[in-house]
Amino acid sequence: MAMGIDDVRGYSENYNMGSAARANHVAANAAVKNGVIKAATSYEGTRELTHDFSIELKQGSITDQQRSGRCWMFASLNTLRYELMHRWKLEDFEFSETYLFFWDKFEKSNAYLENVLATLDEPTDSRTFETINAYPADDGGWWQMFVNLVNKYGLVPKSAYPESQNSKDSDAFTQYLTTKLHQFAIQLRDHHENGMAMSELRESKKRYMEDIYRICAISLGEPPAKFDWRARVKDGDDDKNDESENKSGSGKNSKDSKNNATSDAEAEKSKENAEKSEQGEPGIDERKQIVEHGITPLDFYHKYVPVDVNDFVTLCNNPMRSRPFYTHFQLKYSTNVAETGNLDFTNVPIDVLRKAAVDQVKAGHPIWFACDCMQYCVRDGGYFSKNAVRVDELFGTDFDIDKANGLEYGDYPSNHAMTITGVNLDENGKPNRWKIENSWGKSTGTDGYYVADGEWFDQFVTEVIIRKEFLDDRTLKASQSEPVVLDPWQTISARSD
């Protein structure tokens, strides 16, 4: 039934009638001038969300993904750099996000072409092929994609492979990489239609990947196969400093690796500098150093990162009836590295997910998580809270959708990944505030950090990455069970861009 002009006239009359008119006009003045979020921001709600926490992890400098969709990568690396910094007593540290960005683009391209080869007889307008073809090499991703890359390529410090214009602003690079991949997909499907054997198609794909490598290398620069690294340790812990300088890492993930530590000549020079300093000459930084020459990215990861990225489980909270709890799910065509398994998730009730998160932070470990960051977010002050963004008061209507329906109808997609670095527990031990490290630079939030209240966490956080040691027996058993395989468009969480 069409909307009549008389109906519209009636709506306008009600909008401008009586006491409602004043409220509507005040709200319109605020929203038109300042935007919906600023107009709806409640000073009472934000005042309740103090940026102090009973448990807080000391992290390094705030990172900035800039104009790219690498949040999942930044959040992943932020969880690991915390462990590295505290294991080796560093004041600050940042991994190279560009290094993994290069290999993610390269590997996603290969995985896409493999998916094309696996679906050669699918119509191009089938739901399966449309899903595969939609984002062949976009920026977004998940923790397990990060794990795939680290296992294959290792990690490097930012100094060894810094940011480039195309990593900071990836649109043009991604656009033309995507076009080239679509061109290759067309060629593969045409060759198949003309009777080319699979072995020949794979040879063609192998040649195509040389063009992909060249596009990535021209856009980002070639990643290092080996590199040098030097870091100064903090003062005040000489025993640990000596171990850092002269021995291989003894953390959970360390393996034998040659450490080209400080040479005798450097030690003698350090002694001379100390003597000069005592004689009143300009002060020289005498902190002990970790020095590496010609180390590989895989050796760097195994030696200096004291955790194994494979010792984590992806927990989801999706209360849709079609996604039963304590079930292990796997998503078809979802990996970024062709030879690895597809993404998998263990769905659990929110109280189970919440407890695991609290236990991990209490034990001194940050948490990667995915959420809908667009919901009830005040960027300026750094708040995630329904009480902080009172759009219900601004518009005079509620926006209540429960989590199950929000996921099923696509209103609560996981569109961002961040890192939990603290929690505040009330008198009953229940979390009422979470400290969140973002990757949008220091100009947003409070010096780059956000605070989320407990209600927001429960409703809009869909996924957390938990160390196996913090899982209860039932959840751990579920995570190791045979997965229920879902089609690539079926909802567990959603894209994390």
249-303 confidence digits (pLDDT tens): 334 454 444 344 444 444 445 545 545 445 555 789 999 999 999 999 999 999 9
Tokens 């009953």 sit at which residue? 428
In the set 115, 328, 416, 424, the catalytic residue is 416
Residue 489 confidence (pLDDT) above 70: yes
pTM of the model: 0.91
Q: CB burial class (10 A; 0-12, 13-18, 19+) of residue 175?
A: exposed
Question: Is 71 among the residues known to form the active site?
Answer: yes
Q: Of 51, 71, 253, 415, which residue is the catalytic one? A: 71
Distance separating alpha carbons of residues 457 and 447, to the nearest angstrom: 21
Q: What is the mean pLDDT of residues 12-26?
A: 95
- For a pLDDT cut of 70, what percent of the chain falls above it? 90
Query: Is 416 known to be catalytic?
Result: yes
Tens of pLDDT, residue by residue over 27-86, are: 999 999 999 999 999 999 999 999 999 999 999 999 999 999 999 999 999 999 999 999
Give the model's pLDDT for residue 272.
52
Confidence of residue 484 (pLDDT cuts 50, 70, 90): very high
pLDDT at 255: 41
Band of pLDDT at residue 494, cut at 50, 70 and 90: low
Strands 449-453 and 383-384: what pairing?
A: parallel
Q: What are the tokens at 219?
A: 């856009």
422-436 pLDDT, tens per residue? 999 999 999 999 999
Q: What Rg, from alpha-carbon coordinates, does the chain have?
A: 26
**Residue 132, token pair as written in the block:** 């595969």
Mean pLDDT of the 390-407 span: 97
Residue 319, pLDDT score: 97
Q: Which residue has the tokens 């196996």?
A: 468
pLDDT at 243: 38
Please give the pLDDT value at position 49.
96
Q: Could you tell me the pLDDT band of residue 235, with boundaries at 50, 70 and 90?
A: confident
Q: Is 170 a residue whose pLDDT tops 70?
A: yes
Are 416 and 71 in contact, with CB atoms under 8 Å apart?
A: yes
Please report which confidence band the pLDDT of residue 391 belongs to, taking 50, 70 and 90 as the band edges: very high
Residues 6+ apart with CB under 8 A from 473: none
Q: What is the DSSP letter of 423?
A: E
Per-chain mean pLDDT for the chain? 92
Min mean pLDDT across 150-159, 341-350, 391-400, 485-494 is at 485-494
Which domains are seen in the chain, by residue range?
A: 47-65+308-486 (3.90.70.10), 93-220 (no CATH), 227-295 (no CATH)
Give me the catalytic one of 148, 166, 424, 438.
Answer: 438
pLDDT the model gives residue 246: 35
Whether 216 is catalytic is no
Q: For residue 75, what pLDDT is reported?
A: 98
**pLDDT value at 363 more than 70:** yes
